[in-house]
Structure 1
Amino acid sequence: MFTAVALFSGVMAVWRSYAEKHPESFLSFGKPKIGLVHVEGMIVDATDTLNWIRRLREDPGVKAVLVRIDSPGGVVGPSQELHGALERLRDKKPVVVSMGAVAASGGYYIAVAGDKIVANPGTLTGSIGVRMELTNLQGLMEKLGIRRHAIASGQFKTTGSPFEELTEHERAYLEAVVMDMHGQFVRAISAGRDLTLEDVEKVADGRIMTGLQALEYGLVDVLGGREEALELLRALAGIDDHFDLIEDPTRQRPIWKRILGSVEDELRIQGPVWVFK
């Protein structure tokens, strides 16, 4: 009898350990699960978050997903990848977005992929637009007596170089690229929020706004924090008080790695890049 009890206890311990480490596994049954996705800081590399979203989408035990955003924006490509991943997730299960202190520009771009958006009255959001920054060192180079020569295969290959002034032709070329990205942003908001392009364009001038103002413009659905967002998500998914909230186990990194990762992100986005910010 003792041996059977000990064996059963051992099996259960192994199962619990496996289920915690592999929440996507079919062995991880029991109470319904709600997935938690974090989007924090500058959006530069979305690989880990994209992998986690895919796992939540494929796990039949996950009935709904809460996305918590605390981000001022970031690089265009990764922001669009996260937006697309949440749209695919939303096709299979309810997704509610909870905005923290800030969910602006690229952060807001990601948010519109959810079924509902919940913002605090004082959340900073909006900032709908695209920005490109170029640094020009030509004057400094001349003072130092340094000359630079570039050989390029096309007239726009060196456009944006910090060592040359933009020509009017190059400026028009870059402005066309920025406005194309801006149009993509506006269309994504129009589709995600069921607003006309004209209504979105009225506030798509780069302005920052509070959650309360965003509610008036139809950019968010409800005022509240994470708890209110979780309650709304449970109602959409038909989940009672008994559920497990799970988050990406790879997110638990030591503090020194988080700091170094933030510094690395800042260094990686220096230079002529287009950002939702």
Structure 2
Amino acid sequence: MVGATAAVRLWILNGDGGMSGERYGLVRVEGEIGDSESVVDFLDTLREDSDVPGVLIRIDSPGGVVGPAQEIYAAVKKLAAVKPVVVSMGSLAASGGYYVACPAETIVANPGTLTGSIGVIMSLGSWQDLMGKIGYTYEAITSGEMKDAGSPYRELTPKERAYFQSLVDDLFSQFVEDVAEGRHMDEAKVRELADGRVYSGRQAKKLGLVDQLGGFEDAKDVLRKKTGKGDLPFDEGPVEEESLLDRVIGSVVSHVDGARTQQGPRFEYSLR
């Protein structure tokens, strides 16, 4: 039964997980950005498909972890170099959610979209007081003085704080440089806007962070005009092939992993 279902799916979807024939691509970047593989794979597939004249990216995300956001940014940049790419911002496209939009040729935001939040945050947990109350002690044997930096069992030393600040500053510079390149803006101007604050879509339009105001259907019209192809179907993805059980187990694991991750530093292009 499983084999027959897979065979039918391959026949219907032309074997590559997408529609066949001439159509637009529709890429959804939704929720926290913690993994980039499926989005990047779909972007690459659309880039290489000659039957796809242009791509619409729908973003509704507060951002997320730096590395995956940078991978999506790079994939969007490669795609935009060979065919029209239009971004439609939903209710939220902030920090990493804004970052991944920047290489697109045109960014369309609702007047009330929350966007911007250009900045970096590093999160550290602290269990020191709790461990003291329950009589728990902790000791680490390390190969270097910074190997244990960010431990939740003790306070940061001044040297460790300066070390983490230097990392945040470098990641911030990368963010600003990529926004300036993607939006064809002066880097100094981007830095003026990049204090972490959120902008409305209307404010972002005045500041040059987005190109025009409008909704999802308006963004579709922009893509149709840019390609000159008129009405074509939209091939939407990435398709998440998960069963209900997989989603339940994944949710539990993500909570466990999230708790474990907070033992060490977590660097994010994320709205907080």
The one-character-per-residue Cα deviations of 1:58-96 (angstroms, maximum 9, x if unpaired) are: 111011000000100100000000000011111111110
Matches within 5 A, 1:120-139: 120-139=110-129
> Identity over aligned residues, as a percent?
46
Matches within 5 A, 1:234-245: 234-241=224-231, 243-245=232-234
RMSD: 2.3
Give the TM-score, by structure 1 length: 0.87
The separation in 1 between residues aligned to 2:30 and 2:178, in whole angstroms, is 21
Residue 148 of structure 2: aligned partner: 158
Q: Which runs of structure 2 are paired with 1:92-241 in the superposition (5 Å)?
A: 92-241=82-231
Q: Which residue of 1 aligns with 2:4?
A: none
Question: Which position in structure 2 is the counterpart of 1:49?
Answer: 39
Structure-2 change in CA distance of 1:260 and 1:42 (3 Å): farther
2:25 equivalent in structure 1: 35
Q: Which residue of 1 aligns with 2:237?
A: 248
User: Which structure has the larger Rg?
Assistant: 1
**CA gap 1:257/1:273 in 2 versus in 1, 3 angstroms:** same
| Paired positions, count | 260
How far has the Cα of 1:248 moved from its partner? 2.5
| 3-state DSSP of counterpart to 1:112 | coil
Runs (4 or more) in structure 1 with deviation over 6 Å come to 14-17
> Quick one: which of 258, 267, 272 aligns to 1:274?
267
Aligned amino acid, residue 147 of structure 2: K
Q: Which runs of 5+ in 1 are unaligned?
A: 1-13
Q: Which amino acid aligns with 2:137?
A: R
2:13 equivalent to 1:20: yes
2: distance between equivalents of 1:60 and 1:15? 24
Inter-CA distance 267–62: structure 2 relative to 1 (3 Å threshold): farther
Offset at 1:244? Answer: 1.8
Give the match's secondary structure for 2:20: coil
8 Å contact from structure 2 (residues 40, 75) kept in 1: yes
CA offset at residue 20 of structure 1?
2.6
Q: Is contact 1:152-1:158 (8 Å) kept?
A: yes
Where does structure 2 lack aligned partners over 5 or more consecutive residues? 1-6
Q: Any idea what the Cα deviations from partners look like across 1:213-246, whole Å, max 9, x if unmatched?
A: 11011000010111111111111111112x1211
Could you tell me how far apart the structure 1 residues matched to 2:65 and 2:128 are?
26
Distance 1:221 1:254, change over 3 A: farther
The answer to whether the Cα contact below 8 Å between 2:107 and 2:212 also exists between their aligned partners in 1 is yes
Amino acid at match of 1:219: L
Give CA deviations for 1:10-53 in whole Å, capped at 9, x if unaligned: xxxx999735343689x933xx3100101010100111111111
Q: Give the Cα separation in 2 of the matches to 1:44 and 1:161.
A: 22
Q: For residues 266 and 129 of structure 1, what CA distance do their matches in structure 2 show?
A: 25
